[in-house]
Structure 1
Amino acid sequence: MNAPARARGAAVQVKAPPLLYGLSLAAALAMHQWVLPLPLSLPGLTYAGVVLVVAGLGLGLSGVVTVLAHRTTLAPHLPVSRLVVAGPYRVSRNPMYTGLSLALVGAGLCAGSWWPLIVAPLCMLATYRWVIRAEEAYLLDRFGADYQRYRAQVRRWL
């Protein structure tokens, strides 16, 4: 018998989603360094990359701070105490994952490699399939109509 939504967390397949992004970046940089370099070089690319990394990490960190300020958990597999819709959650249902995605693309620009840009959509798809789908099903079960309204008003990524 399934525990009520209040007592359980989301049935995610990856309990630490930031690892998906870190491993994706490591794999992309390894591909560039040791397998098949795919250089990317345009004037100002490093600066654009730094801006994306800083913006992405800032967005992700603001999501973390907002969740902690609402005294609920960051771990998707643990039960949440409330639906957070403030701060960056007003513009993205997943500001932490969106921020990590931006940082991953920015890191690719900084590294001057196409590989992180190629890997980023795959990482986002994996995050959706292995984490977000289960989180959204859990939040719908846990918060019902409140989550349905929120989901109708706020985009998943940006």
Structure 2
Amino acid sequence: MAISETVLILAGGTVVLSIMFGIRVAIRAVANGAAAVPRPDGGEDAGGSGAPDLAGVIALPPLIFLGFLAVAVVLEVVIPLPASAAQVPAHYLGGAVLAACGFVIIFMAAGRFHAAGTNIPPTLPTTALVVDGIYRRTRNPFYLGAVFVYLGLGVAAGSFWAIGLVIPLLWVINTGVIAREERYLERKFGHAYRAYKARVRRWI
């Protein structure tokens, strides 16, 4: 059975993004967790609640995005949508623009985190509240950028499955990641974070 161009593009993009994520994890592992700041109090929250100094997200966000891409690939193989088979240059161009914008947003966010000296993975403690740069426009540039990259791949592949799955993907990110991070940041930074949340939107 011939593999459709949609499946090839979607699967190939998923593999490339997986490799990029794996390299990033490997670099962090080689650095021996240098970005993590050890806490003398046993990792308890600075707010004094006794809760662990972690957001408690359901999974690393990149794994969530990759998981939805993998589901889209399987659906394209098992139940291909006829309309998603046609490829035109506009799909490639539009997808490339979306993905490029997403990577730019992610790199801008990473730059602000590095400048502040705080951890990027939500599975590590947040040591500083970042509210400048791209964070003046959106409270979650990492996830906003990742959504653009995800949609860019879906558009380039002409995959209506991938594009349609963005709705449950956003629900999972909102409830399983962002909401938990927000509760953690309110607990840790108190009024400073509540004031920031009141003036900047969650997405855009």
Query: What is the TM-score when the length of structure 1 is the normalising length?
Result: 0.90
Q: 2:91 touches 2:157 (CA, 8 Å); kept in 1?
A: no
The offset of 1:43, in angstroms, is 5.9
- The count of residues paired between Structure 1 and Structure 2 equals 155
Does 1:76 pair with 2:122? yes
* Residue pairs, 1:1-158, within 5 angstroms: 3-5=44-46, 8-14=53-59, 16-32=60-76, 34-38=77-81, 39-40=83-84, 41=86, 44-158=90-204
Q: 1:9 touches 1:76 (CA, 8 Å); kept in 2?
A: yes
Q: 1:5 touches 1:138 (CA, 8 Å); kept in 2?
A: no
Unaligned runs of 5+ in 2: 1-42
Structure with larger RCO (C-alpha < 8 A, sep 6+): 1
Q: Which runs of 4+ in 1 moved over 6 A?
A: none
Whole-angstrom distance in 2 between the partners of 1:107 and 1:133? 26
Partner of 2:15: none
The offset of 1:30, in angstroms, is 2.3
Q: 1:46 touches 1:111 (CA, 8 Å); kept in 2?
A: yes
Q: 1:8 touches 1:77 (CA, 8 Å); kept in 2?
A: no
Whole-angstrom distance in 1 between the partners of 2:122 and 2:89? 40
Whole-angstrom distance in 1 between the partners of 2:75 and 2:131? 39
**Percentage of identical aligned residues:** 35
Unaligned runs of 5+ in 1: none
Q: 1:49 touches 1:108 (CA, 8 Å); kept in 2?
A: yes
SS of the aligned residue for 1:24 comes to helix
Query: What is the TM-score when the length of structure 2 is the normalising length?
Result: 0.71
Whole-angstrom distance in 2 between the partners of 1:17 and 1:43? 30
Deviations 1:103-138 (A, max 9, x none): 111111100110111111211111111111110001
